[in-house]
């Protein structure tokens, strides 16, 4: 992973956990979801996965682990996290204590058909090998193949200096093609623009965590690098050049 991505997904992930610990347990889940998931998005995905008590849930590219903790809290799922960045692995262990393996979506450290369900949130566009991500998810999830994705899709060509360093956005066409090639099928799909807004208390917690991070680390070069990355993402979303989608998949 390049320096900018490591700053965003490793260093800042670890700082986020430190700040959340200081702020108290009420902040853990929203802080751990800074990477992507809103409650409405996670609820939609959990319904799509038909997630129920005791189901093992592989969180592929788990970041700080907030979405996993949300699934455990709301559905009593049993999360297992895979994440390449050591700092994010430490952050997830500190905040939530679920099993975390340092590894990549391109070679998931799990046996064939060993988990009930899997999701991968905001991960596809941070890697280039989209087909292998889907093939690996298909391999490790047992029938009927309950898989959920949060993906950011390019709606028009995006130049290198516009996009976060190291990102590779799929298009709707490339995603659908790769889903099919991986032996999966789309069961349901929604644009994140059609989801309910983030509730105020959750947004307030996110804002408080972000300002605590800014206050503590704002002068640090790696914070600035990470902010430039997320700023580029925000601009692409604001300009409509990318859009978010939630996708519920099954074995084909
Ligand atoms: C935008 S963050 C999302 C984190 C988390 N899924 C969430 O929703 O809060 C993208 C994550 O993908 C991870 N990632 C990047 N390349 C990966 C790969 N090859 N395999 C698995 N995860 C990867 C990053 O380290 C980062 O934690």
For 54-174, strand residue ranges (E) read: 56-60, 78-83, 100-102, 115-121, 141-154
- For residue 65, what pLDDT is reported? 97
Top mutation candidate among 7, 9, 150 for ligand 1, by most atoms within 8 Å of CB: 9
- For residue 160, what pLDDT is reported? 87
Please state the rounded mean pLDDT for residues 29-33: 97
Tokens of 56: 């093992």
Q: What percent of the chain has pLDDT over 90?
A: 95
Do residues 57 and 116 touch, judged by C-beta distance below 8 A? yes
User: CA 22 to CA 26: how far, in whole Å?
Assistant: 11
Do residues 18 and 47 touch, judged by C-beta distance below 8 A? no
- For residue 9, what pLDDT is reported? 94
Please state the rounded mean pLDDT for residues 223-252: 96
Tokens of 1: 């992973």
Q: How far is the CA of 119 from the centre of ligand 1 (A)?
A: 11
- Nearest-CA residue for ligand 1 atom 15 is 126
In this model, does residue 188 exceed pLDDT 80?
yes
Q: Is 140 in the pocket of ligand 1 (CB under 6 A)?
A: no
User: CA 78 to CA 233: how far, in whole Å?
Assistant: 31
Top mutation candidate among 4, 84, 132 for ligand 1, by most atoms within 8 Å of CB: 84
pLDDT-derived band of residue 1, with 50, 70 and 90 as boundaries? confident
Tokens of 210: 């972000």
Q: Is 84 in the pocket of ligand 1 (CB under 6 A)?
A: yes
pLDDT-derived band of residue 36, with 50, 70 and 90 as boundaries? confident
Q: Is 104 in the pocket of ligand 1 (CB under 6 A)?
A: yes
pLDDT-derived band of residue 196, with 50, 70 and 90 as boundaries? very high
**pLDDT tens for residues 51-67?**
999 999 999 999 999 99
Q: How far is the CA of 240 from the centre of ligand 1 (A)?
A: 22
Please state the rounded mean pLDDT for residues 25-31: 97
**pLDDT tens for residues 63-100?**
999 999 999 999 999 999 999 999 999 999 999 999 99
Please state the rounded mean pLDDT for residues 145-169: 94
Q: How far is the CA of 163 from the centre of ligand 1 (A)?
A: 16
Q: Is 137 in the pocket of ligand 1 (CB under 6 A)?
A: no
- For residue 26, what pLDDT is reported? 97
pLDDT-derived band of residue 2, with 50, 70 and 90 as boundaries? confident
- For residue 37, what pLDDT is reported? 78
Do residues 208 and 28 touch, judged by C-beta distance below 8 A? no
Q: Is 37 in the pocket of ligand 1 (CB under 6 A)?
A: yes
**pLDDT tens for residues 90-141?**
999 999 999 999 999 999 999 999 999 999 999 999 999 999 999 999 999 9
Q: How far is the CA of 1 from the centre of ligand 1 (A)?
A: 11
Please state the rounded mean pLDDT for residues 209-224: 96
Burial of 165 (0-12, 13-18, 19+ CB in 10 A): middle
Q: Is 145 in the pocket of ligand 1 (CB under 6 A)?
A: no
Beta strand 56-60 pairing with 115-121: parallel
Domains of the chain: residue spans and CATH: 3-251 (3.40.50.150)
Nearest to 59 by CA among 174, 137, 131, 145: 137
Please state the rounded mean pLDDT for residues 217-232: 95
Q: Is 166 in the pocket of ligand 1 (CB under 6 A)?
A: no
Q: How far is the CA of 129 from the centre of ligand 1 (A)?
A: 13
- Outline where the chain has alpha helix (H): 3-6, 12-23, 28-32, 39-48, 66-75, 86-95, 130-140, 172-181, 200-217, 221-238
Q: Which atom of ligand 1 is nearest to the CA of 105?
A: 20
């Amino acid at each position: 992973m390049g320096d900018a991505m490591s700053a965003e997904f490793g260093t800042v992930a670890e700082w986020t956990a430190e700040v959340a610990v200081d702020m108290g347990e009420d902040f853990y889940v929203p802080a751990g979801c800074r990477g992507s998931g809103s409650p409405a998005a996670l609820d939609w995905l959990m319904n799509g996965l038909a997630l129920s008590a005791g189901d093992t849930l592989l969180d592929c590219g788990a970041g700080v682990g907030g979405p996993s903790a949300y699934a455990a809290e709301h559905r009593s799922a049993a999360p297992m996290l895979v994440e390449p960045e050591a700092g994010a692995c430490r952050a997830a262990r500190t905040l939530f204590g679920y099993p975390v393996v340092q590894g990549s979506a391109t070679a998931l450290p799990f046996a064939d058909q060993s988990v009930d369900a899997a999701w991968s949130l905001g991960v596809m566009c941070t890697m280039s090998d989209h087909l292998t991500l889907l093939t690996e998810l298909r391999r490790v999830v047992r029938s009927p193949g309950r898989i959920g994705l949060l993906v950011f899709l390019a709606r028009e060509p995006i130049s290198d200096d516009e996009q976060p360093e190291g990102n590779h956005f799929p298009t709707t066409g490339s995603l659908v093609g790769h889903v099919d090639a991986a032996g999966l099928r789309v069961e349901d799909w929604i644009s994140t623009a059609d989801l309910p807004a983030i509730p105020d208390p959750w947004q307030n917690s996110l804002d408080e965590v972000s300002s605590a991070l800014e206050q503590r680390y704002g002068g640090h070069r790696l914070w600035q690098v990470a902010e430039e990355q997320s700023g580029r993402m925000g601009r692409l979303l604001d300009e409509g050049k990318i859009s978010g989608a939630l996708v519920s998949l099954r074995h084909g």
